[in-house]
Structure 1
């Protein structure tokens, strides 16, 4: 069997169109000039115009009165379908498996789905003492979960405000943050540190640490490591290092939140 038969044919124009859509999604509006797009794609300005016009015809893009290209209504259909999809993206599972293999702890992949921070999948660790208090599909108490804090902290402000307006801060344990001002400071700290923790805020005796997954400036979700509190306290630095390696994040100084040392 030939390599092409095994891997399938690739259509360069389709690949360029997909890359172009990703560029438009990741670049600020004032940086979406055709010249910039052509440079990023490594192709000519006329070719970019051909791609843009084709995507406009497909309703994936639209051109406003200022001749600026923006996403069309067909993108909303795709976005809605993706937001309802609960099967985890395969490319995000390998790092999750690596996390459990390296740490021996339970690990989770969570993401925004239908306007909620949702657990997409869970992998059990190998330690004799494990914590498995979350299952795929769980979407409650985002304020009490490390993953919920990460997804809220790095969400678009409008999406975060909408979620918090519809979901009052829920008390799950005596350590859960329920004061809006304190929680706002917690999210600011998460955004500054690049990760979140919860120590017995969701489940007594359990601590979690989570880090966001980015692609071209887009928040795909987050990985979470969950462990018994005592083991977490001993291994926190190592867990954080594993998460940073898994998501490709640079190292950053550890700072503690208003709830005290984690």
Structure 2
């Protein structure tokens, strides 16, 4: 065999039919259950109904999908196995780490990636910034006091109501500092505000002298996690607007189309 050895993750043949199946699964995940018919899926994908049926039938045979009596498609048993395995995975996807690195590069501050794992908002990754004064009070694997953390507020505010209620029923509202919100009604108002404005903050609610700002990470309408910037309070107050802009830019990086060709079927 001759030729140049692969040099990166985008090297090599892509199978077009696998790409189409993956796109189809992501589309189904983004649509309401009553809008997952084959004609609707074909229209959204810009392909023919027969082609979509071929993909759907294959995915049903693999138990990744099921078809109900209304001819709507839902996720099958095999998808449950995959989702549970993903929820238990503590190593973050590489695609989420590149924007995280960008955050630290452009702000000089420590940045975090957090996500739901096994019913808890968990810190998956932390990158230190370059400023002389840094705050490093969270480590990967930390899962406590979601009510006091900007990332925790984001994940709770945008979570499915059942997931949020189960977490709060078990963990309650933990007091970390004198500024931590521990009143249930006040915290409900805080989450409503986070959901409306699209980001969360905590100013000395988790740790004295430390402030954080966090935004949700979305992919195909699915909440994938949260990016957070952590900084000393005084620096945070001066640069809060800039931090929010950089966080949103990081999320937008994930929406940029990947370049590469699919081949074969």
Work out whether 1:31 is the aligned partner of 2:35: yes
For residue 109 of structure 2, the aligned residue among 97, 105, 124 is 105
Scaled by the length of structure 2, the TM-score of the pair is 0.91
Structure 1 residues not aligned, in runs of 5+: 250-262
Work out whether 1:81 is the aligned partner of 2:78: no
Q: 1:228 to 1:62 in 2, by over 3 A?
A: same
For residue 242 of structure 1, the aligned residue among 233, 239, 246 is 246
| Structure 1 runs of 4+ with >3 Å offset | 1-6
Which of 1 and 2 has higher RCO (CA within 8 Å, sep 6+)? 2
Q: 1:219 to 1:63 in 2, by over 3 A?
A: same
Q: For residue 110 of structure 1, give the secondary structure of its aligned residue in structure 2.
A: strand
Work out whether 1:156 is the aligned partner of 2:160: yes
Inter-partner Cα distance in structure 2 for 1:42 and 1:53: 18
Inter-partner Cα distance in structure 1 for 2:213 and 2:227: 8
For residue 137 of structure 1, the aligned residue among 116, 136, 141 is 141
Inter-partner Cα distance in structure 2 for 1:183 and 1:98: 31
Aligned to 1:229: 233
The aligned runs of 1:65-80 (5 Å cut-off) are 65-80=69-84
The aligned runs of 1:10-49 (5 Å cut-off) are 10-49=14-53
Q: What's the offset of the Cα at 1:47? A: 1.0
Aligned to 2:126: 122
What do you get for the CA RMSD once the two structures are aligned?
1.6
Aligned to 1:94: 98
Structure 2 residues not aligned, in runs of 5+: 254-265
Larger mean CA deviation between 135-144 and 11-20 belongs to: 11-20
Inter-partner Cα distance in structure 2 for 1:3 and 1:14: 23
Aligned to 1:252: none
Q: What's the offset of the Cα at 1:30? A: 2.6
Q: For residue 111 of structure 1, give the secondary structure of its aligned residue in structure 2.
A: strand
Q: What's the offset of the Cα at 1:36? A: 1.9
Scaled by the length of structure 1, the TM-score of the pair is 0.92
Q: 1:64 to 1:202 in 2, by over 3 A?
A: same
